[in-house]
Every structure is written in C-alpha cells, then in structure tokens.
A and B are shown apart, each in its own frame.
Chain A
C-alpha cells in the first residue's frame, strides 16, 4: 500500500528526495500497517519523531495506517534547547 507522508523541519534532511517535505511512501506487500512501518521504510527511529499525525489526528507510533492515509511526522523541536543552551554557555 501507499501512504502520503509530510515531514517537518530536520527530518527532511533524512529523506532529501521529498519535495517540500512531502511524498508517497510504498509499503510493499502490506494491506494495512502502523506508523512504525512507515517510519521504518523511511529509516526513522522512534526518538527521531515527537509528533505523529494520521489524517490530522495526533497518534502514537503503533497507530494503524491504511492505503491513502496522510501521515505527518515532526521531530522533537519544542522541548529542545538544552543542547543549544549548553553550547552557548560554554562560549
């Protein structure tokens, strides 16, 4: 089956062939699957992703996906600034 995937910010570097962070992902041989299958197909680990939407509903990685679904994946952006702060404090 195929699903449409929208990637946010830094996740786009991982799938450079997507234009505007969006593209189709094929899950060969599957009639249905989970968000985890989609992430595996894109080489994304669970810690890479914080917010997951399937058809605009916030879900967990185990949530089911069906042919034609829209999956939005966003990295952990918001509770983020520890590294940044550490870097600046050392300067």
Chain B
C-alpha cells in the first residue's frame, strides 16, 4: 500500500518480507536511517541485521534492495538501484549497483528498501509490489527459467509495463558468480547487479523475482518543490552550459574506452600480462558503433527512463536479429582482450549468455583468462568459451569450476597469477598503469570494483583534474575523495556518469545535495558529502572486520608488484602504509 502525507505525496517505507511464511509488512524507516537511500541504506541495514560471520548462502543472510533517495523524482539519471547482502564471493559486505526501470518505480511507490529474510525451505516465490501493497505468490513455475524467458512470462502475467528484478539459473544453483537482473525500458533483463554473487543470495531466499508495477501512483512527496525544481534547473543548466562538448558516450557507448585505454597502455590483456591488445580495434566502440549502424541495432540507448546520457546500445547480429543489449566496455574487455579474443560477435553472444543465466561478465572473463593460463582451453578460443558457458548454465561439474569466480578457478586450475582483491575479479584497467584505480581496487570494502572510486576519470580522462596514472604520488587522496563522493551518488541513486559533469562543475555538484534537501526537508549540503561517505565506508569496513578481514585484505595480488606491465614496464608501487591510511587501518590522512 502506498503511504501518503497530508498533501497526498508518497512517503517512504521499508518493506520487510519473511520468505518462510510469505508474509509482507511495511515498516517506518528508523529515525537514524531516514536520511539514507540506496547504498547507504543497504549497507546500514546489512550491518545492523546480518552477523558478519554468517554463511553468505545460509539462512541468516538477507538481501536488501534499495532505490536511491532521488528515485522516482524528476531528477535526471536517478534510477540506479542498490542491492546489498553479505557477499558469497568476497565474504564481506556488498552493494551491487544496477540501472533499469525498477528503482524509479519503487521510488514512486515509496518503497525505500525491500528486505528479504528467513528460510524459505522448499518454497519458491515471486514478490509483486504495486499501489495496493505487496504480495508473495507461488513462483515455482518460473524457477529454472533463464532471465529472458522469465521476464517475458512475468510481463505476460503481471502486465507489459512492470519492471522485474530477477535471479537466473546461476543464482538458483548457488554460484558465487551470479548476478541479479533488472529489466530495461523495453522490458529486457539486460541490466545487472553483477558483482559479488548476489543472485545466489536472492535464490537462497527462495525468491525468483520481484515485480514492480507503479501504475496509478504519483511522484514522491517533495517537501519544498520550489527549491527542488530550482536545484534541478541548476543541474540542467550546468550541463547545458558546459563548455566542452562531444558525442562520445551516446554515440560510441562505454566501449569508446577500449581504444583510449589501449592507447594509454592500460588495457589488461592475456590475463593481465600486457597493457595493449593487438586486436583492440576489432572490439572497439568505433567498431561496435559501425555494426549498430549497419545492422539496425541501436546506439544512444538509455538503460532507464529519464536518462540524459544514453551510453548503452542494442546489438544485432549480421542478419539484423537481436543478440544482446548493453554490450559494455567491461564485458567486451573481460571476454575479449583479457582472453585474447578479438571476435566481437562472440563477445556479444557471450554477453547475452551471461545475462540470461545471470552471471557477471567481468568475473566470467577473469575466470576464463585464469582457466586459459591454467591450460583448460586455448587463448582466444571463443567457441570453447561459449561451450563452457553452457556448462556453467547446466550446472555441470566443469560448470561449477567456472561459475564460482576467478579466485575459485585459480585454485582449481593451480594458477598463481590470479587478478582478484577480496576474491573479486579485477575490472578493465590494469592497476600498474592506472594507479589511482588500483588504490580503489585495493581499499574499497567491495573487493576489486572500478565504480567505487573511479580514478580513471582523473588519471586518464582529465576529468576533475589530472593525476599522472603511472606515478604512485597523489593516488591515495584521489581515490579516497572519489570513494567518499561515490557514496553520495550510490545513495542518491544517481548514475555515476553524471559525476563526469559534476566533477568539473561545482554548481552542478552542489545541486545534488540541494535536491536531496528539498526532497526530504532536511538540510544536506556539500559539506555533508564527505562525512556521509565516511560514515557509510566506516560501517562497511566494520562489517568486513567482523567477517575477519584485516589490512592484508586491502592489497593487490603480489604479481602486480613483481611483474612489469608492457608497454610502460611499470609495477604496482603504492606503499602499503598509504593504502592503510585510505581504508582506515591507520589514522586518517591529511586531505
């Protein structure tokens, strides 16, 4: 049921779902958490309600799904969704972030968070939420379906315009590399909370899907609409007046980075042995762009309604048939350059397979590269990669060797060159040649995660200043500041690409806390961004400490310090003591 204030504006509530009995209850948000949304809320709830020592796939873990504070408002790009739990991949706290339609619909319905808890036994559920309330119904007919079939059947049952949040076959099989899918504006389950194996946590709660229908509800209550609209206009005007123009992200997509990072000598290739890939052009954003043009796919695809950037795409095969959507930089790199695979068609096909079974493309690509190093298959053998993905999908013994993450594959195939931090596979920037992102990989509580503090912006793209990517100096304060600021974006539910403009425009950045203030009626200023970041990062680290993490877990694998990366022939040389100042094992550094 939708809760409204005196003016009829929608008020936020927590939806608690007991999966053992199928009971649902709306609760008021505890006063001390009222100012939290998105990641701040998922991490706060997990740290309060889940024992850090609990088995991540056991009955005591919970899954928390939270839209950001600005979800459902007229703010641009405000439909990012946070999914939190204890991660079965890292063993630490996890917030996995995803776009798609669900977040804004939850925002409109006033659902601040969904908590899935309890022991489902043999029960399989679908949770549906609409203006009249929430309901658990039998989901056994959906169990076992791939994400695409599942989304289609849910839309047939609940209506064409619903959004769904789903776990796939990999999650059902308890794979530690399993994602949670969210449907895009066309209803395709192509957006994924990929990282950290949360699909398995959702399935362990017996919930196949959460279906969200916002028909018949208005936008959330805004305490001071005039102030909100003014701040929103400031942000919009800031974007309009920005002096530097271009068309890279919408035209070429995130994959525009392939040629740039390759040119910078930082594109991890052949399981992080080289910084350049000789077939980069074949898998580049420029190639993708041309193929989309020629085959009737789509460039400038937005993953959510209200997006103003449209960095994504719809990729068709040579006959013009749909293959996958959101063939993104990270996926192309992971299943491409990192595996010496220059076949863009095979990459798009694998992207679809990953989305359908519900596994993270980054972790899958890292896993294949480690398996190639261990001799399981030849480098660049895309045909064999596709066959092995079917094994993951079918939960065979080989599939289980490959579906539990890169670190697991390293043990199974006796490889010591394993690119992980906190057992999570490292993404598409070699930390030796982009040292700022290396600091983020090492120190974020999430395990190796580029989005937790995207120092690539400043190291490579000259956004928010310039810091030489090859030199250790200044990388720790850069990463620390970005990690704190990222908490704001993750908590507001904003796309991190909005930060690209905000980092260069103080007035645009300031408009974000201003919108939050106007929405909530509580003053939140730029001065509060750092403390919010610190508060959330501290409680995430505290959870990880409780789970047994120490300063030794905030390190990159040793090979990065020993093996020089061509073409720059640089090693990882950020000092351990400096890393410890970022992540709080040592006293906080001077900013």
State the A residues within 8 Å of B (CB): 6, 8-10, 12, 20-22, 50-51, 53, 55-58, 72, 74-86, 88-89
Number of B interface residues, CB 8 Å?
43
B461 within 8 A of A: yes
Contact B260 A8 (CB under 8 A): yes
B241 within 8 A of A: yes
Give chain B residues whose Cβ lies under 8 Å from the Cβ of A88: 308
Give the complex CA separation of A88 and B308 in angstroms.
Answer: 7
Give the complex CA separation of A67 and B457 in angstroms.
Answer: 31
Give chain A residues whose Cβ lies under 8 Å from the Cβ of B247: 9-10, 77, 80, 83-84
The 9 listed contacts between A and B (C-beta, < 8 Å) are A6-B259, A50-B244, A50-B246, A51-B461, A56-B568, A72-B263, A78-B246, A78-B461, A82-B244
Which of B162-170, B249-257, B335-343, B396-404 is the interface stretch?
B249-257
Contact A79 B463 (CB under 8 A): yes
Q: Which of B245, B251, B289 contacts A82 (CB under 8 A)?
A: B245
Looking across the interface, which residue of chain A has its beta carbon closest to that of B248?
A77
Contact B263 A77 (CB under 8 A): no
Contact B460 A58 (CB under 8 A): yes
Residues A75 and B246 in contact in the complex (CB < 8 Å), given A6-B263, A56-B265, A85-B236: yes
State the B residues within 8 Å of A (CB): 76, 236, 239-242, 244-252, 256, 259-260, 263-265, 275-276, 281, 285-286, 289, 308-310, 457, 460-463, 468-470, 500-501, 504, 567-568
Give chain A residues whose Cβ lies under 8 Å from the Cβ of B244: 50, 76, 79-80, 82
Residues A77 and B256 in contact in the complex (CB < 8 Å), given A56-B568, A86-B240, A89-B236: yes
Q: Which of A12, A53, A78, A85 contacts B263 (CB under 8 A)?
A: A53
Measured between C-beta atoms, what is the minimum distance from B250 to chain A in Å?
Answer: 6
Give the complex CA separation of A80 and B310 in angstroms.
Answer: 12
Q: Which of B241, B275, B309, B469 contacts A58 (CB under 8 A)?
A: B469
Contact A80 B264 (CB under 8 A): no
Contact A51 B239 (CB under 8 A): no
Measured between C-beta atoms, what is the minimum distance from B177 to chain A in Å?
Answer: 30
Contact A50 B462 (CB under 8 A): yes
Give chain A residues whose Cβ lies under 8 Å from the Cβ of B463: 78-79
Q: Which of B236, B310, B462, B470 contacts A51 (CB under 8 A)?
A: B462
Measured between C-beta atoms, what is the minimum distance from B456 to chain A in Å?
Answer: 10
Residues A81 and B309 in contact in the complex (CB < 8 Å), given A9-B251, A56-B567: yes
Give the complex CA separation of A61 and B341 in angstroms.
Answer: 34
Give chain A residues whose Cβ lies under 8 Å from the Cβ of B249: 77-78, 80-81
Give the complex CA separation of A29 and B499 in angstroms.
Answer: 46
Give the complex CA separation of A76 and B250 in angstroms.
Answer: 13
Give chain A residues whose Cβ lies under 8 Å from the Cβ of B242: 79, 81-82
Contact B286 A85 (CB under 8 A): no
Give chain A residues whose Cβ lies under 8 Å from the Cβ of B462: 50-51, 58
Contact A58 B264 (CB under 8 A): yes
Give the complex CA separation of A46 and B259 in angstroms.
Answer: 20
Known: A72-B259, A81-B308, A82-B241. 5 other contacts (CB 8 A): A9-B256, A58-B469, A78-B248, A81-B249, A85-B236
Residue in B248, B281, B469 whose Cβ sees the most chain A Cβ within 10 Å: B248
Measured between C-beta atoms, what is the minimum distance from B121 to chain A in Å?
Answer: 49
Measured between C-beta atoms, what is the minimum distance from B229 to chain A in Å?
Answer: 14
Q: Which of A12, A50, A78, A81 contacts B239 (CB under 8 A)?
A: A81
Looking across the interface, which residue of chain B has its beta carbon closest to that of A58?
B264
Looking across the interface, which residue of chain A has its beta carbon closest to that of B287?
A20
Give chain B residues whose Cβ lies under 8 Å from the Cβ of A6: 259, 263
Contact A84 B264 (CB under 8 A): no
Q: Which of A55, A78, A80, A84 contacts B567 (CB under 8 A)?
A: A55
Looking across the interface, which residue of chain B has its beta carbon closest to that of A86?
B240
Residue in A10, A12, A85 whose Cβ sees the most chain B Cβ within 10 Å: A85
Residues A84 and B250 in contact in the complex (CB < 8 Å), given A51-B462, A72-B263: yes
Give the complex CA separation of A5 and B65 in angstroms.
Answer: 47
Give chain B residues whose Cβ lies under 8 Å from the Cβ of A80: 244-249
Measured between C-beta atoms, what is the minimum distance from B275 to chain A in Å?
Answer: 8
Give the complex CA separation of A56 and B266 in angstroms.
Answer: 9
Looking across the interface, which residue of chain A has its beta carbon closest to that of B243?
A82
Looking across the interface, which residue of chain A has its beta carbon closest to that of B310?
A84
Measured between C-beta atoms, what is the minimum distance from B550 to chain A in Å?
Answer: 36
* Shortest Cβ-Cβ A-B pairs, 6 listed: A77-B248, A80-B246, A72-B263, A56-B265, A82-B242, A76-B246
Contact B252 A9 (CB under 8 A): yes
Contact B286 A12 (CB under 8 A): yes
Give chain B residues whose Cβ lies under 8 Å from the Cβ of A8: 256, 259-260, 263, 286
Measured between C-beta atoms, what is the minimum distance from B436 to chain A in Å?
Answer: 13
Contact B248 A9 (CB under 8 A): yes
Contact A79 B260 (CB under 8 A): no
Residues A77 and B246 in contact in the complex (CB < 8 Å), given A22-B281, A51-B260: yes
Contact A76 B263 (CB under 8 A): no
Give chain A residues whose Cβ lies under 8 Å from the Cβ of B260: 8, 51, 72, 74
Give chain A residues whose Cβ lies under 8 Å from the Cβ of B251: 9-10
Give chain B residues whose Cβ lies under 8 Å from the Cβ of A86: 239-240
Contact A21 B246 (CB under 8 A): no
Contact A74 B263 (CB under 8 A): yes
Give chain A residues whose Cβ lies under 8 Å from the Cβ of B263: 6, 8, 53, 56, 72, 74
Give chain B residues whose Cβ lies under 8 Å from the Cβ of A78: 246, 248-249, 457, 461, 463, 500
